[in-house]
Amino acid sequence: MKSIKIFARIAASLLCLAVFTSASFAKTSPLANPYGMAVDVKGNLWVANANGGDSQFGQILEYNAAYVQQTKATITSNLNIPLAVAFDPVGNLWVANGAASNGGTGGSIAEYVGGVQNTAATITDGIFDPAAMAVDGIGDIWVQNGGVSLNVYSPIQPFNPTVNLIQSLTSLGPFSGLAAENDVVAFGYSQGTGFAAVEPYLASSNLQGERWTSIGVAIGADNKGNFYVGTSSGIVYIVTSAGAVNGFLQLSFSPTGIAVDNVHGRVYISDGPGNTIYAYSPAGALLHTIN
């Protein structure tokens, strides 16, 4: 079994996830509560637009390197409040639907290949209120369920569309935010002090780290083993592969998603209630605003 380290963000309280379904979203912009994001191998940004579209049940949007929306790539089929997106090692897109869809009762994880849903790979087993998701280096799919459990699903095997639940972590305490970089999975939670490592899965050991005063609500990873952790107070930290904690940004909002573009050297941060996505340089300089 591979060795997996989970760097956990310590906090005093859990920020409850909110889904905004008001009809007051401006129709001049396609962004309507942008949540989780992911960047593909070409450097294109994919966004879980939680309440987008005429029905307000959500869309998956794509933006190119010039920050221009690629309307032909918009995904709308079988979505119900998408809150997270992630790419697997072969480039397929996975989407976490926060509300029930495809006959499920508490949300689902759906796979899209070339923009078309692979219905045989839909995950509903053990899924409820999924708000964050990550795919690690070997294709294991990690899903945050309602902020209280972390499920791990095996990758799809050739000629076998079944995705099996292989592990469920239920003793972590409340947490939110989820990101993966190769064999390292990071999340934020509100139990204990310092950082914790789980290696593998349930065998835990403590690592001392800086105590933070608000929970990590959004997490993104680069390809160097560093994690960008956004907190409910608007502070964004960089947790390095060595476990050091460095300040990155002070935002005026609580981020709903973070994604790192390793192709163009950008850090994307979404503001769901503000219907806006910001692009920053690795040095923290604002590059562009999508709204």
**Using one digit for the tens of pLDDT, what is the confidence trace for 168-205?**
877 666 667 888 887 777 777 554 433 333 333 333 33
Q: Fill in the amino acid letter for 284.
A: G
Query: In which order are the strands placed within the sheet that holds 266-271?
Result: 257-261, 266-271, 276-280, 286-290
Mean pLDDT to the nearest integer, 71-79: 92
Checking if the pLDDT of 46 tops 60, the result is yes
Q: Are strands 149-153 and 195-198 parallel, antiparallel or unpaired?
A: unpaired
Mean pLDDT to the nearest integer, 102-125: 82
- The encoded tokens of residue 68 equal 């221009």
From CA 249, how far away is CA 45, in angstroms rounded? 21
**Number of C-beta neighbours around residue 286 at 10 A:** 10
Q: Is the torsion defined by CA of 112, 76, 68, 227 positive or negative?
A: negative
pLDDT of residue 215: 62
Checking if the pLDDT of 210 tops 70, the result is no
Q: Which fold has domain 5-17+24-290?
A: Neuraminidase (2.120.10)
pLDDT of residue 225: 83
pLDDT of residue 28: 53
pLDDT of residue 214: 57
Q: Is the torsion defined by CA of 18, 146, 86, 111 positive or negative?
A: negative
Domain segments of the chain: what residues? 5-17+24-290
Contact 152, 192 (CB under 8 A): no
pLDDT of residue 189: 58
Contact 287, 281 (CB under 8 A): yes
Write down the pTM of the prediction: 0.84
- The encoded tokens of residue 31 equal 């962004």
**H/E segment holding residue 23:** none
Contact 272, 20 (CB under 8 A): yes
From CA 205, how far away is CA 196, in angstroms rounded? 6
